[in-house]
Amino acid sequence: MGLLLGLVFGIGLLLIIWSFVSPRDTRPSADGRLTTRSRDLLAAAGVEGVTPAAFIGACAITGFVAFVLMFLVSATLPIGVVFGVMAGGLPVALLKSRARKRLAEFRELWPDVVDNVASAVRAGLSLSEALAQVGERGPLPLREPFRRFGSDYASTGRFADSLDRLKARLADPVGDRVIEALRIAREVGGGDLGRLLRSLSSFLRDDARTRSELESRQAWSVNGARVAVAAPWLVLAMLSFQGDVIQRYNSPVGALIIGIGAVVCVVAYRLMLRIGRLPEPERVLR
């Protein structure tokens, strides 16, 4: 009996010690994931000087202001809540739209960037100098990141670190592939850099042309889905100015109808986008 008690006591003491020395769970919390997603979205949209906390706060303030306004207009709590939630997601939708436009613009410009680098290398410049001169002679939307790359490399002399900072500023999946290809070419060396750049430029042009054609054919379905989803809520917003009509939603049944309508719209919209969407390039080479 004494042996059993000693064994149980030892196991308990071991578990207590293990709880202090064992590695903690490093998985990001919900707040951490939200902050990371906000940071990635801001970077993809090319927004600098705005922290994830400020962006999340802007979403919350926008939603709260819309809730107060719609509640004052309609005197109906469910109306205020649903429009507050939609307004809170408006900054996210705007940033996503800007990120898509920026991604499409960069996709068309990367072949010209690669051609500029190839021309500079053929003229006898090193790869780092060729990348720095893109900031002076390259496509206008991409000049500033490459100009800052040139400043970083001139001040530190570390090519790999300067490339990492360039990738972070661009936040572009195509740019990630181009930069990693250039990194490998510089590390491996040899006389095939010109051939690599020509092949990369040709591949990027073919990819951009094919994707542009597919996106132009897809546009009608996306726009139709947006109109179909927005129409009932525009009608509801106009009805909010008619107090005798909108008060019918100021009840549990009315709130249930609005909630079901919101869920149906979200599911239908997401389903339409999922059916007609193209595979989005992901930043797998961060």
Residue 26 is predicted with a pLDDT of 42
pLDDT tens by residue, 248-259? 888 888 888 888
User: Nearest 5°: phi and psi at 272?
Assistant: -60, -45
What pLDDT is recorded for position 202?
Answer: 86
168-218 pLDDT, tens digit per residue, is 888 888 888 888 888 887 777 656 677 777 888 888 888 888 888 777 777
What letters, b where the CB count within 10 A reaches 16 and e where it falls short, cover 56-95? beebeebbeebbeebbebbebbbbbbbbbebbbeebbeeb
- Determine the pLDDT at residue 180: 86
- Residues of the chain with pLDDT below 70 are 1-31, 189-192, 276-286
pLDDT for 280: 66
The CA–CA distances, whole Å, from 165 to 43, 159, 268, 275 equal 12, 10, 40, 36
What pLDDT digit, counting tens, does each position of 145-154 carry? Answer: 899 998 998 8
pLDDT at 8: 45
Task: Answer for the pair 285, 163: CB distance below 8 angstroms, yes or no.
Answer: no
Q: Give dist(CA 204, CA 161) in Å, integer.
A: 25
CA distances from 186 to 160, 189, 194, 256 (A): 10, 5, 12, 62
Q: For residue 257, give the nearest of 82, 97, 116 by alpha carbon.
A: 82
pTM value is: 0.73
Element (H, E) at 61: helix 52-74
The closest of 220, 218, 258, 221 to 236, measured between CA atoms, is 258
Quote the pLDDT of residue 24.
47
Helix (H) or strand (E) holding 278: none
Residue whose pair of structure tokens reads 């972070």 in the numeric block = 168
